[in-house]
């Protein structure tokens, strides 16, 4: 997907769906363009690599950067901004219980880490 000069994919530019992009100068030297957005890693970031700019909005539901709050980006008037918002985690856990979610999802939501089993609540 593209908005003006901004190229957007879920994964990376070598595999738009499944690539876990590790943003580096070497990586962005090999792709055409100036402005890039991807998300598959769930790691919120904004970085410059020479004359190229890369953003990852993070994750609304499965953060993996050690911060459990909702992460997202806003693009408005040619400006990107990254945001974090707190929410009622217990309400989400209750809804997940009712829906039969696997325990694998709970720890990641609570801690912002990946692949943790449900944490014992105090």
Q: What is the mean predicted confidence (pLDDT) over 99-103? A: 90
Examine residue 67 and state whether it is found in any structural domain, yes or no.
Answer: yes
Per-residue pLDDT reduced to its tens digit, 1-13:
777 889 999 988 8
| pLDDT over 60 (residue 99) | yes
Q: Looking at the chain, how many residues does it have?
A: 122
- Distance (Å, whole) CA 46 – CA 81: 9
Examine residue 47 and state whether it is found in any structural domain, yes or no.
Answer: yes
Q: What is the mean predicted confidence (pLDDT) over 96-116? A: 81
Which pLDDT belongs to residue 95? 96
Please give the residue range of the domain that contains residue 21. 2-85
Examine residue 99 and state whether it is found in any structural domain, yes or no.
Answer: no
pLDDT confidence tier of residue 15, bands split at 50, 70 and 90: confident
> Residue 35: in which H helix or E strand, if any?
strand 35-37
| pLDDT over 70 (residue 50) | yes
Examine residue 18 and state whether it is found in any structural domain, yes or no.
Answer: yes
Task: Please indicate whether residue 82 or residue 21 has the higher confidence score (pLDDT).
Answer: 82
Domains in the chain, number: 1
Give the C-alpha distances (Å, rounded to integers) separating 90 from 18, 109, 112, 113: 31, 10, 15, 17
Examine residue 120 and state whether it is found in any structural domain, yes or no.
Answer: no
Radius of gyration of the CA atoms of the chain, in A:
16
Examine residue 65 and state whether it is found in any structural domain, yes or no.
Answer: yes
Examine residue 22 and state whether it is found in any structural domain, yes or no.
Answer: yes
Examine residue 119 and state whether it is found in any structural domain, yes or no.
Answer: no
Are the C-beta atoms of residues 47 and 54 closer than 8 Å to each other? yes
């Amino acid at each position: 997907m593209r908005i003006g000069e901004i190229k957007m994919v879920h994964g990376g530019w070598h595999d738009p769906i499944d690539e876990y992009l590790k943003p580096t100068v070497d990586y962005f030297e090999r792709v055409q363009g100036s402005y890039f957005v991807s998300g598959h890693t769930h790691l919120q970031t904004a970085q410059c690599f020479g004359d190229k700019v890369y953003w990852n909005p993070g994750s609304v539901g499965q953060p993996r950067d050690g911060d459990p709050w909702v992460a997202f980006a806003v693009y408005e008037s040619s400006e990107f901004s990254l945001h974090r918002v707190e929410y009622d985690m217990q309400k989400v856990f209750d809804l997940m219980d009712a829906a039969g979610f696997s325990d694998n999802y709970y720890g990641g939501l609570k801690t912002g880490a990946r692949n943790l089993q449900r944490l014992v609540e105090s």
